[in-house]
């Protein structure tokens, strides 16, 4: 069977790209002939190294442009469909793994989250960068109009998969369609090997330095708990440099001495920090899923997440496998941290076991059943 995977770019090597790479690998392992439709050429060495998996065979790639594009990311997603529509003939199965609207209906769509939900659901608007300034608002409007015109046609006959019950509910509201929840693949095995002995009353947050990630809030939280050690880990690049500098200045201005800010930390050093800590605090609101909290759970940390999104509904099961907070309030989050620290020894076993629900092996079994339906 010939399979065409459509993904506008793998070079960002984020959560969506992790799903795409695992889908390609799974289809290859099942004996299918897999090809890839993108808008720009893939830097395979970079993508495989960052995501952490290697393909036995690099798929034949059809790139719309012979060079990398540095802007207009959401419009690249739309162009992927224009490009793929010329390639579709001759393929038995088409899979859209970036999940957004394309100018091409596909057989299977992994819809991470419907972008239109940010527009139509008022409670989600504060969490979208496209609605936070006049520039991004204007930038977003042509895309929104295209989505509203094409969304039913694009997804009408597609089998829709998604990453959490939170996203599934948004899909029901926006599309009037149900979706099958298949959790994203998380490489939990490496984290499960970390020892539990020698843990300290320490807290870590891992996220790239970007305003929507609320990294700076950890400074205020650390100030509330001076006897607890805090670690802030994240990649710094591009526009994130200015925000990273702000976090450092805030730490100095507030005189916070129990927080270490660790930019661009190598993976091995990140594992060392995780192996010292008992609690992971996640400061991103309305997260569709949340791979970082799952990794932390596998590493033996109790997660604390905002009471919204898939991180709350699916990962910690509404408080069964972690703690939550209702507002980005340092005192409220500090209270949750104290509860998590005191509950660590009694909860850590169940929390680690929960993380295995999101393993690569579980993803391969669930997505493999979907592919088998098309054979």
- Distance (Å, rounded) from C-alpha 188 to C-alpha 356? 7
Q: Mean per-residue pLDDT for 354-372?
A: 96
Percentage above 70 pLDDT, the chain: 92
Token pair listed for 103 = 């100018």
In the numeric block, the tokens 């929840």 are attached to 181
Closest alpha carbon to 21 in 40, 39, 2, 34: 34
Question: First CA to last CA across the chain, in angstroms?
Answer: 7
Task: Give residue-wise pLDDT tens across range 173-227.
Answer: 888 889 999 999 999 999 999 999 999 999 999 998 988 899 999 999 999 999 9
Query: What's the pLDDT score for residue 122?
Result: 64
Closest alpha carbon to 168 in 147, 148, 158, 183: 183
Beta-carbon count within 10 A of 92 CB: 13
- Distance (Å, rounded) from C-alpha 159 to C-alpha 106? 8
Q: Mean per-residue pLDDT for 343-347?
A: 97
Closest alpha carbon to 237 in 50, 102, 48: 50
Residue with the bigger pLDDT between 231 and 45: it is 231
Closest alpha carbon to 55 in 89, 21, 84: 21
Beta-carbon count within 10 A of 275 CB: 18
Give the chain's mean pLDDT.
89
Percentage above 90 pLDDT, the chain: 60
Query: What residues form DSSP beta bridges with 232?
Result: 205, 261
Query: What's the pLDDT score for residue 102?
Result: 62
Residue with the bigger pLDDT between 357 and 73: it is 357
Query: What's the pLDDT score for residue 8?
Result: 84
Structural domains of the chain, with CATH: 2-185+359-373 (3.40.50.2000), 189-357 (3.40.50.2000)
Query: What's the pLDDT score for residue 156?
Result: 76
Query: What's the pLDDT score for residue 81?
Result: 64
Task: Give residue-wise pLDDT tens across range 77-98.
Answer: 666 666 666 677 789 999 989 8
Closest alpha carbon to 194 in 318, 280, 258, 312: 280
Task: Give residue-wise pLDDT tens across range 264-293.
Answer: 888 889 999 999 999 999 999 888 898 999
CA distances from 305 to 4, 281, 320 (A): 36, 6, 12
CA distances from 24 to 33, 105, 124 (A): 10, 19, 32
């Amino acid at each position: 069977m010939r399979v065409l995977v459509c993904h506008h770019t793998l070079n960002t090597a984020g959560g969506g790209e992790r799903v795409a790479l695992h889908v390609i690998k799974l289809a290859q392992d099942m004996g299918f002939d897999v090809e890839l439709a993108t808008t720009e050429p893939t830097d395979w060495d970079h993508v495989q190294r960052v995501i952490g998996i290697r393909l036995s065979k690099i798929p034949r790639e059809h790139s719309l442009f012979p060079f990398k594009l540095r802007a207009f990311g959401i419009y690249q997603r739309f162009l992927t469909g224009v490009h793929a529509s010329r390639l579709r003939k001759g393929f038995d199965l088409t899979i859209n793994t970036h999940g957004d609207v394309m100018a091409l209906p596909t057989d299977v769509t992994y819809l991470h989250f419907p972008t239109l939900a940010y527009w139509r659901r008022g409670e989600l608007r504060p969490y979208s960068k496209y609605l936070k300034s006049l520039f991004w608002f204007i930038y977003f409007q042509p895309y929104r109009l295209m989505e509203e015109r094409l969304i039913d046609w694009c997804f009408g006959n597609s089998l829709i998969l998604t990453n959490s019950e939170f996203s599934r509910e948004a899909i029901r509201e926006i599309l009037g369609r149900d979706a099958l929840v298949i959790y994203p693949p998380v490489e939990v095995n490496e984290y499960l090997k970390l020892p539990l002995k020698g843990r300290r009353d320490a807290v870590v947050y891992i996220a790239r330095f970007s305003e929507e990630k609320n990294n700076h809030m950890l400074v205020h939280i650390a100030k509330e708990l001076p006897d607890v050690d805090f670690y802030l880990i994240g990649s710094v690049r591009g526009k994130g440099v200015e925000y990273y500098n702000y976090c450092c200045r805030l730490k100095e201005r507030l005189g916070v001495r129990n927080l270490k800010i660790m930019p661009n930390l190598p993976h091995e050093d990140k594992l060392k920090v995780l192996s010292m800590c008992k609690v992971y605090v996640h400061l991103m609101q309305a997260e569709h899923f949340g791979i970082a909290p799952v990794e932390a759970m596998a590493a033996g940390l109790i997660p604390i997440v905002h009471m919204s999104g898939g991180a709350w509904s699916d990962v910690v099961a509404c408080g069964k496998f972690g703690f939550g907070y209702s507002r980005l309030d340092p005192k409220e989050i500090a209270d949750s941290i104290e509860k998590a620290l005191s509950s660590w020894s009694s909860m850590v076993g169940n929390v680690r076991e929960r993380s295995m629900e999101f393993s690569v092996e579980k993803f391969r079994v669930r997505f493999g059943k979907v592919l088998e339906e098309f054979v």
